[in-house]
Structure 1
Amino acid sequence: MKKILFIMICFVLFFPFMASAHTTLESSTPSAGEVVTTELKEITLEFAGEIENKSTFTLKSNNDVVQVDSITVDGKTLTGQIPTPLKNGEYTITWNIAATDGHLLSGEIPFTVNIPNQEESEVQEDPAAETDDAQVNEEQSPQVDNDTDSNNEESDDNRSIISTVSIIVLVILLAVGIGILIRKKR
């Protein structure tokens, strides 16, 4: 019986750490919802924990894959080189990583490229169109930020709920185990 109690105590103490062992995206360049105004030559994704070499990402614009060269993994960092300048528009980085604990994780990072010089040369004929494009980008950017923030908040809320429920269940198990021990001693 003492072995069972010991196993339950170990489970209670170590389960919350196991539940939160998955790595998360800590930062990225460009960041989610960012409006890039200078030429982007490299994409960098920084994770909270070590990632495996088979981790990768793709860059898409309007569901078209954009070429990214030399995607490398260095500890917690996933990096890729962009060989040609990106045109103005909306892009999404879709990452797929393998954490060192073996779990496969994925996510998306939406961002916009809006380099002023490109827009001026592309729309010199119609200044009104430039104003309309700028208004559309301003209207869409906050929506992307809100979606990304809500996804991050939902992910954090899910982890928090899982941890809380795990702790409650483990405390109940511990209480039942102690109750059984007390009854057997009488």
Structure 2
Amino acid sequence: MNTLLSRRASVRPAALAALFAALLAALLALGAPAQAHDTLLESDPADGATLESSPEAITLTFSADVLEVSPLVRITDENGEQLAEITPSIDGPVATATLEEPLPAGTSTVQWRVVSSDGHPIEGTFEVAVEQDAAAEETTEAPAEESSPAEESAPAETAAPAEEGEQATAEAAEEESGSSMTPLLIVFGVVVVGAVVAVLLIMRRRD
């Protein structure tokens, strides 16, 4: 009888210890994804920007260095037809996709995909509008070349700084909300540890 009781007493702490280890592993797994993936800080042109003419390149800036593993930028027109598919160059956190052909007038959708520094692929989309076609712009500017400096002095992306700031603020808020979960998870882990220790002490006193 005493042998049976001693076996039960030894099995219970072992089971509780295994349960504690599983809970701790679950807490660590929940806390890790909140800080893992990199995020897009800004794009040039910015999302929703309206440009007088087509940009020469699409630049994406991320929160950390992205990996040079199959990066992709695909551009489609308003009808969903593909205009360009580009492999951007990677320089630390910056991916640059140089356009071989100018974007036509209208709204174009830019789809991007890169691999973040933690090895996970991330992707997203944004829209850019071009007011004037490249061919029409050349025809319009040809008779009045002397007035072109005044036209070029006007900024093409007046709305870009505000939109970039809003995008950066939103993504910074997401990072802060993810990182704020970590202290809560730590506190929860400490409470679980305390509960397990209390149960073990009570069981030992009963034995």
TM category (shorter chain) comes to: 0.5 to 0.7
Aligned to 1:142: none
CA radius of gyration, larger in = 2
Task: Note the aligned Cα RMSD (angstroms).
Answer: 4.1
Aligned to 1:110: 127
Correspondence 1:25-36 to 2 at 5 A: 25-36=40-51
Aligned residue for 1:91, secondary structure, equals strand
Answer whether contact 2:35 2:175 (CA < 8 A) is retained.
no
In the alignment, structure 1 segments of 5+ residues that lack a partner are: 124-145
Aligned to 1:22: 37
Pair 23,158 (structure 1): closer, same or farther in 2 beyond 3 Å: closer
Pair 120,105 (structure 1): closer, same or farther in 2 beyond 3 Å: closer
TM-score of the aligned structures, taking structure 2 as reference length? 0.58
Pair 91,155 (structure 1): closer, same or farther in 2 beyond 3 Å: farther
* CA distances 1:131-150 after superposition (whole Å, capped 9, x unpaired): xxxxxxxxxxxxxxx9xx79
Aligned to 1:67: 84
How far has the Cα of 1:116 moved from its partner?
8.4
Answer whether contact 1:21 1:101 (CA < 8 A) is retained.
yes
Instruction: Choose the corresponding residue for 2:67, options 42, 52, 55.
Output: 52
CA distance in structure 2 between the aligned counterparts of 1:179 and 1:156, rounded to whole angstroms: 34
Pair 40,26 (structure 1): closer, same or farther in 2 beyond 3 Å: same
How far has the Cα of 1:172 moved from its partner?
3.0
How far has the Cα of 1:73 moved from its partner?
1.4
Pair 179,94 (structure 1): closer, same or farther in 2 beyond 3 Å: same
Aligned to 1:181: 197
CA distance in structure 2 between the aligned counterparts of 1:90 and 1:63, rounded to whole angstroms: 11
Answer whether contact 1:12 1:174 (CA < 8 A) is retained.
no
Answer whether contact 1:88 1:119 (CA < 8 A) is retained.
no
Pair 120,58 (structure 1): closer, same or farther in 2 beyond 3 Å: closer
CA distance in structure 1 between the aligned counterparts of 2:192 and 2:111, rounded to whole angstroms: 46
Aligned to 1:41: 56
Aligned residue for 2:193, secondary structure, equals helix
Aligned to 1:84: 101
Pair 158,176 (structure 1): closer, same or farther in 2 beyond 3 Å: same
Aligned to 2:8: none
Aligned residue for 1:83, secondary structure, equals coil
Q: How many residues align?
A: 162
CA distance in structure 2 between the aligned counterparts of 1:35 and 1:111, rounded to whole angstroms: 6
CA distance in structure 2 between the aligned counterparts of 1:117 and 1:82, rounded to whole angstroms: 13
Answer whether contact 1:60 1:91 (CA < 8 A) is retained.
yes
Amino acid corresponding to residue 193 of structure 2 in structure 1: G
CA distance in structure 2 between the aligned counterparts of 1:181 and 1:158, rounded to whole angstroms: 34
Answer whether contact 2:31 2:185 (CA < 8 A) is retained.
no
Answer whether contact 1:37 1:115 (CA < 8 A) is retained.
yes
Aligned to 1:141: none
How far has the Cα of 1:52 moved from its partner?
1.7
Determine if the alignment matches structure 1 residue 96 to structure 2 residue 113: yes
% of aligned pairs identical?
Answer: 21
How far has the Cα of 1:112 moved from its partner?
0.3
